[in-house]
Copies of this chain bind each other. A is one copy, B any other.
Amino acid sequence: MNVVLIAIACGLLAVVYGFVTSAQVLKQSAGNERMQEIAGAIQEGAQAYLGRQYTTIAIVGVVVAVLVAVFLGLTSAIGFVVGSLLSGAAGYIGMNISVRANVRTAEAARGSLQGGLTVAFRSGAITGMLVAGLGLLAISAFFYVLTNLRGYAPDDRTVINALVALSFGASLISIFARLGGGIFTKAADVGADLVGKVEAGIPEDDPRNPAVIADNVGDNVGDCAGMAADLFETYVVTLGVTMVSIALLIQASSAELMQLMSLPLVIGGVCIIASIIGTYMVRLGAKQSIMGALYKGFWTTAILSVPLLYFATKYTLGGDMNAPIGAAGQFTEGPDPFATTAAVKSFNGMDLFWCMMIGLVVTAAIVWITEYYTGTNYRPVKSIAKASETGHGTNVIQGLAVSLEATALPTLVIVVGIILAYQLTGNVIGIAFAATSMLALAGMVVALDAYGPVTDNAGGIAEMAGLEGDVRNRTDALDAVGNTTKAVTKGYAIGSAGLAALVLFGAYTTDLKEFFPDLTVDFSLSNPYVIVGLLLGALLPYLFGAMGMTAVGRAAGAVVEEVRGQFRDNKGIMEGTSRPNYARTVDLVTKAAIKEMIIPSLLPVLAPLVVFFFITGVAGREQGFAALGALLLGVIVSGLFVAISMTSGGGAWDNAKKYIEDGNYGGKGSEAHKAAVTGDTVGDPYKDTAGPAVNPMIKITNIVALLLLAALASHAAG
């Protein structure tokens, strides 16, 4: 049997899980009329926003699809379209279930904490499984059609280009979705807080605040739809680039290549099974620890994955884990860009299995480190809370210190992962498989994340509908853990990007050798154009972050003006006698977010092209390629730190506020609390707009470089 069919079957299983669980969630009571009315408004706003966002992206998408078709042919263009559409679908479906689960979570939390957790987590699990399932389906079905039905060899240039184009589609949509959603959610959140909590002195989620629905819409379009698109991208790119690097680096018969290229797909498949089983283990224990309940699910998945990965590898590679891969070790004779000084080393199935274990350990380590830096039980968050006692300034100083420090351990983990995986196989393939097994857990990780915005919304609905205090306390407890799991996903995505970027760079250098065998490109650090590329690459996340932060500030300012206007023109709002115009605020944020997302999203698409053509003009094509390659690594070297510091720092600020609200350092309303609110506001665009969008940004830069190479080559050939 063709093993790709196993992957396709697992992908379909995830989709079935999504449908079945959706039905379970929708069966729950949607609460009283007022709750349904509020939820309806949120739903309407979210759908309206996503509709407009995807329309805008579609325009860019069509232009790019035509360019891909012209430069790389129809098959690649189809790959691009498939990647784009499914990325959009993952976000759209995730948002759709989340806007229905929010009100049901609020209703269930009236009964018990477990009830709320179950509904919220299930809805998160639907998004998680659809992200992994649709990602796996897209790539495995497309690969199956090309190699089995259309009969291309697995390392045929058409297949490789199509896989890269598929990844490009996923990435391009996801950067728009991540950034647009991120700007929407944080502009609404910050704007609502400023004008509501600070100016008008009304609590969060007070129904008199005209921005309150926009704030809740933001949770769905940013933290849910944007995140889902981002992780879909990470999943597809990681699996895709692993397959592409096998095709490029290893010279073997088509049958042998098929085996090895199918392995990432089968890994993804079996881990979906482990993830589905894990979701059923999420249950509160005697201690009522929410994080503990989520950990049960995560650990079940991780531990189950170990034997599943072993047997999947064994089966896919034909049964012998110790045989050198390919007949007589020929897999290691390819043009390995990493073999310049290290002795060429033969590797086998067991080595690959150990690389996958490294991926699992890296994932677990990042989960633990992120919990340490963003959880309310540990030094970093407590230190920010304590610093709030002496004011706004010291809160922010300590938060920034934590955000800088939070980069250290993840970097060390990634570095050790790279070294070990490389040592095991002697080339980049080991690193690729470590990244693949990391991403194989995406279903579970996304499930842990996507439950957060649902509980956040549930809390908002409880507040607006005037439900009893207990409900809000329960949803708040769920939400605090959500801050940590949200930070985990981002650390995980960017950590996997650290590994994937190496693989992408390997693909770039190999492509370069294959397309332009007569060029000698010097990637040595002693080539000044390499330094130039590194510096320009390192600049991109900074510039991108600046644009994202400014966009949120500007859009939040517009929200403040709008709400002030409503308060001024309609005195009844504050008296509670007349309804604010929620829809107008939603509409305003929608327009602002869509306008603001475009230029920063195009930065990583255009920067590689500009740098390549500029340096080529100045110093010739060899140096152009050298600078472009260095740019790809500069983006990751700098982006890793920018992204981790922003996402962990932001999570820590948010939870420091929650820690104070739990009654520490004076509790709600104290001066320390005001300072902590400031920190939280600062952390908002850090963790939900600029930081997470760095992950797709890194990938796009790399993929555009690969496509540029292919286009230049086909231009030179044609």
Contact = CB atoms under 8 A, between A and B. Distances in A.
A681 interface: yes
A393 B678 contact: yes
A80 B539 CA distance: 36
Nearest to A408: B543
A523 B520 contact: no
Nearest to A191: B390
A194 B694 CA distance: 35
A342 to B, nearest CB: 8
Interface stretch (A272-280, A480-488, A529-537): A529-537
Interface residues of A, number: 89
B678 A415 contact: no
Which of A396, A398, A418 has most chain B Cβ within 10 Å? A396
A678 B675 CA distance: 10
Given A401-B545, A402-B546, 19 more contacts: A338-B528, A387-B553, A394-B681, A397-B682, A401-B549, A401-B550, A405-B546, A407-B543, A411-B535, A415-B535, A418-B528, A419-B618, A419-B619, A423-B618, A498-B535, A505-B525, A525-B633, A538-B637, A538-B638
A136 interface: no
Interface string A297-322: 00000000000000000000000000
Nearest to A680: B393
Contact of A341 (B419, B428, B522, B560): B522
Contacts of A633: 525, 531, 534
Contacts of A400: 549, 682, 686
Interface in A383-421: 387, 390-394, 396-398, 400-402, 404-405, 407-408, 411-412, 414-415, 418-419
A577 interface: no
Given A340-B522, A391-B194, A408-B543, A397 B638 contact: no
A71 interface: no
Contacts of A391: 194, 198, 678, 681
A412 B536 CA distance: 8
Contacts of A524: 340, 523-525
A54 interface: no
A557 B390 contact: yes
Interface in A619-640: 619, 622-623, 629-630, 633-634, 637-638, 640
17 contacts: A338-B528, A340-B527, A341-B521, A390-B560, A394-B553, A397-B552, A400-B549, A401-B545, A401-B550, A404-B549, A405-B543, A419-B618, A428-B528, A498-B535, A524-B525, A538-B638, A542-B645
B637 A535 contact: yes
A527 B524 CA distance: 10
A83 to B, nearest CB: 27
Given A526-B338, A637-B638, A550 B396 contact: no
A431 interface: yes
A256 to B, nearest CB: 24
B640 A535 contact: yes
B338 A423 contact: no
Nearest to A396: B682
A641 B637 CA distance: 12
Contacts of A531: 418, 502, 633, 637
Contacts of A394: 190, 194, 553, 556-557, 681
A392 B678 contact: yes
B194 A520 contact: no
A606 B676 CA distance: 36
A81 to B, nearest CB: 32
A521 B529 CA distance: 19
| Chain copies in the assembled complex | 2
A677 interface: yes
A391 to B, nearest CB: 5
Contacts of A390: 194, 198, 556-557, 560
Contacts of A419: 528-529, 532, 618-619
A476 to B, nearest CB: 21
Nearest to A545: B404
B401 A526 contact: no
Interface string A673-699: 000011011100110000000000000
A553 B523 contact: no
A647 interface: no
Interface in A506-525: 506, 509, 520-525
Nearest to A633: B525
A337 interface: yes
A683 to B, nearest CB: 9
A422 interface: yes
Contacts of A502: 528, 531
A621 to B, nearest CB: 12
A224 B213 CA distance: 53
A532 B420 CA distance: 11
A509 B536 contact: no
A414 B535 contact: yes
Contacts of A532: 415, 418-419
Contacts of A520: 341
B401 A542 contact: no
Interface in A419-445: 419, 422-423, 428, 431
A437 to B, nearest CB: 18
